[in-house]
Amino acid sequence: MRIRFTKMQGAGNDFVVLDETQARHNFSTAQYRFLADRHFGVGADQILTVRPAPNPSLDFEYVIHNADGGEVEHCGNGARCFVRYVRDKGLTTKDRVRVKVKQGEIELQMNADGRVTVNMGAPIFDASKVPFQLEGLQLKVVGDCQVWHLPLNINAASSGFAAGVDVAVLSMGNPHAVQVVDSVDTASVLSLGPLIENHSAFPNRVNAGFMQVLSRDAIRLRVFERGAGETLACGTGACAAVVAGIRMGLLNPKVDVQTHGGLLTIEWQGGALKDVSQPVLMTGPATSVFEGEIDVPELP
């Protein structure tokens, strides 16, 4: 099957965007994996598929597949690229759109400066909804934030790592485990990332964030994403890190997040002694890189 696609990026997090507003491609997991392959396909961290709204109260639906072909709940950087795509393609003239994603609904705003603000919804701390199996894990409270000790397997410990890591756990529509580190430059992201991602405490796996606090208004962040590995930026990961930092008493309500791919601004008015049901707002860039066509082979 020959299809058209658009390659996009938001803070270096890159996507293949497909238009299914007229007809479905009905791709298999293997075909999504092919499209994301940087050697044999187009190459991307994730595949974004644009579909018609399922009901009149919404403008669109979009579906997200990781580079491993699996469907996921949410992607903040992808959401910004999505709204840039539908505007660039003339699928809408609205500055503000409401969209269905797997985990619910989100609202996106195209700003006058070309950046996009996404209402990411409220963070989720209920372990059963993350999901997160906390039985048997050690807990400490930092500020107003629960921090859990994840024991690592014996292979990791014998390789020179500590016996475990301390993480704040929450969901931004997808699960995140956030660790505070002295420096993201020296953090063992590529070694610890897969161990945290696949830890038995997370039945659906987890995105592992490594946060360095620069000031109350700025952090540096690296994220080892579930199903994709380390990416240049992760929007939901930036939101999760800032929320965790605010609840720990380390950060102010509005924070600049420095990633390898660029700058994101995260704002959350929740936190200690406040309403944690407040939504998280993320603002950042979204850019079209190129367009093309590709033959997608028949794959099981």
Catalytically active residues, by annotation: 75, 234
Close Cβ partners of 74 (under 8 Å, ≥ 6 residues apart): 64, 101, 102, 103, 106, 120, 172, 173, 174, 236
Is residue 190 a contact partner of residue 159, using CB atoms and an 8 Å limit?
no
Q: How far apart are alpha carbons 54 and 56 in whole angstroms?
A: 7
For residues 165 and 48, give the distance between their C-alpha atoms in angstroms, rounded to a whole number.
33
**Beta-carbon neighbour count of residue 171 at 10 Å?**
26
Cβ distance 284 to 120 under 8 Å? Answer: no
**Around Cβ 54, how many Cβ atoms within 10 Å?**
10
Cα distance between residue 83 and residue 64, in whole Å: 14
